[in-house]
Amino acid sequence: MLVVQKYGGTSVGNLERIENVANRVIKSRKIYKDMVIVVSAMSGRTNQLIDNANFYSSCPNKKEMDMLLSVGERETAALLAIALISKGYDAVSLSGKEAGLLTTDDYTNAKIISIDTDRIKNELEKGKIVVIAGFQGFAANGNTTTLGRGGSDLSAVAFAGALGADLCEIYTDVDGVYTTDPRIEPKARKLDKISYEEMLELASLGAKVLQNRSVELAKKLNVKLVTRSSFNENEGTIITSEEKMEQALVSGIALDKNQARITLRQVEDKPGIAASIFTTLAKKDINVDMIIQNAGYDGTTNIGFTVPQSELNNAECAMRELLGNNAIITTDSEIVKVSVVGVGMKTHSGVASAAFEALAKEGINIEMISTSEIKISMVVSSKYAELAVRTLHKVYNLDK
């Protein structure tokens, strides 16, 4: 059997934790014939490297940043291989390039094109434990590239898919996927299983257990994914296809605090106005999430939308450039998005009304609503963030 295990930054946060990972790998070696380990940089290392670059420039060259940031994962990979060898186990560390991970040349946020697994398979045939630096690869021009924040998850899933692994285990500092953030709702319950679709929604809506691109790739490649803690022996959460599991009505509640709203008032109500607004934002790489447009009145309309808080100023400036300084533009960064996720929504009615009624009873006003087949997202005032999560968690009996 072949397993791919990925260990995150907190799991390899210092030398003692790297040794703990080495011991876990050795324990797993008794179960699996072939092992590929993907590692992140030690916690805080990437931020330290970014700070070093910012000492010289607030906008450092992206190609050079990828060369710099790839150091953290290579450091961890080498240290883990050294630890395994010192304990009598044959191991080898590989950079992303040595492991054959080819990407686009979109520096700091590259996309995976393909993986040449020959080197990895050759090392496995020699009986070695292969330790790969996650988060990185190389472009066709030979330059080092990185996959963006959380890219080690993506690396692990990609290698698991390319190698036809029997299992891909993602080790973090939490036991698995919970019905909501246990720090907000102590009654949150760990899920034994969750579908790719639900996990993808939760990851994109603020849950930080797995990077959303990695879940999307796992679904595409049909990789059996398990997330669990590297600090205990508890069973984790299996992420699998929807048809392999019972469909819960609601699986989880997600909270995204990185939200801000822009409202454009008395915009001329004419064909193409919405297109010009959102095309302008797209050209500036500003991601728009929820959108509301009121019915036109007196030749004008109001258009509201949400963007990440970090993009609020850029978005407001873009709108003033487009609409002119006399445009009526209001902003609000004191909002959050709370979302209800569950594949069971496809076949059950009344899920949305239960959420709306529960929040209303707590005096929480819903400012914006967005829905999909398995998700209901609501924007509320940030002062009600934790109350909204606890209320929705209770109304769907997620602690049971």
pLDDT digit string, tens, across residues 123-137: 999 999 999 999 999
Q: Would you state the pLDDT for residue 211?
A: 81
The sign one gets for the Cα dihedral 316, 321, 323, 326 is: positive
Beta partners for 306? 261
169 and 263, same structural domain? no
Q: Give the confidence band of 203 by pLDDT, cuts at 50, 70, 90.
A: confident
Q: Domain boundary at 173, 189, 219, which? A: 173
Could you tell me if 265 and 328 are in contact, meaning their C-beta atoms sit under 8 angstroms apart? yes
Q: Is the pLDDT of residue 246 over 60?
A: no
154 and 37, same structural domain? yes
221 within a domain of the structure (yes/no): no
162 and 41, same structural domain? yes
Could you tell me if 309 and 264 are in contact, meaning their C-beta atoms sit under 8 angstroms apart? no
Q: Would you state the pLDDT for residue 312?
A: 93
Which CATH number fits the domain that encloses residue 80?
3.40.1160.10
Q: Is the pLDDT of residue 299 over 90?
A: no
Give the CB-side neighbour count of residue 180, counting CA atoms within 13 A.
Answer: 29
Q: Is the pLDDT of residue 244 over 60?
A: no
Q: Is the pLDDT of residue 243 over 70?
A: no
242-251, 270-279, 322-331, 334-343: the lowest-pLDDT one? 242-251
63 and 163, same structural domain? yes
169 and 62, same structural domain? yes
Beta strands in the chain (DSSP E): 2-7, 34-39, 91-94, 101-103, 112-115, 129-133, 136-139, 144-146, 167-172, 193-195, 225-229, 237-240, 252-268, 291-293, 300-307, 328-341, 368-372, 375-381
139 within a domain of the structure (yes/no): yes
312 and 163, same structural domain? no
136 and 25, same structural domain? yes
263 and 153, same structural domain? no
Q: Is the pLDDT of residue 245 over 60?
A: no
Residue 15 exposed, middle or buried by CB count within 10 Å (0-12, 13-18, 19+): exposed
Which CATH number fits the domain that encloses residue 374?
3.30.2130.10
Please give the structure tokens belonging to residue 251: 């699986």
Amino acid found at 133: A
First and final C-alpha spacing in the chain: 36
347 within a domain of the structure (yes/no): yes
189 within a domain of the structure (yes/no): no
Q: Is the pLDDT of residue 166 over 90?
A: yes
Q: Would you state the pLDDT for residue 247?
A: 61
Q: Domain boundary at 173, 208, 223, which? A: 173
Nearest to 224 by CA among 265, 165, 177, 154: 165
227 within a domain of the structure (yes/no): no
- Region of residue 319 (phi > 0: left; psi between -120 and 50: alpha; otherwise: beta): alpha
147 and 47, same structural domain? yes
Q: Domain boundary at 146, 173, 200, which? A: 173
Alpha-carbon distance of 364 to 356, in angstroms, equals 9
Please give the structure tokens belonging to residue 91: 């191991």
Domain hosting residue 80, numbered range = 2-173
Count of domains observed in the chain: 2
pLDDT, average across residues 111-123: 97
Q: C-alpha angle 169/174/179, rounded to 5°?
A: 100
Please give the structure tokens belonging to residue 215: 């879940």
Sequence-distant (≥ 6) Cβ neighbours of residue 264 within 8 angstroms: 277, 302, 303, 304, 319, 323, 327, 328, 329
Q: Would you state the pLDDT for residue 269?
A: 87
186 within a domain of the structure (yes/no): no
Alpha-carbon distance of 34 to 51, in angstroms, equals 38
Beta partners for 283? none
Full-model pTM:
0.82
Q: Would you state the pLDDT for residue 285?
A: 84
77 within a domain of the structure (yes/no): yes
Beta strands in 19-116 (DSSP E): 34-39, 91-94, 101-103, 112-115
35 and 169, same structural domain? yes
Q: What is the pLDDT of residues 60-94, one digit of tens each?
A: 999 999 999 999 999 999 999 999 999 999 999 99
354 within a domain of the structure (yes/no): yes
Sequence-distant (≥ 6) Cβ neighbours of residue 99 within 8 angstroms: 115, 119, 120, 130, 132, 133, 159
User: Which residue shows structure tokens 């492991």?
Assistant: 99
pLDDT, average across residues 362-366: 97
275 and 165, same structural domain? no
SS3 of 31, please? coil
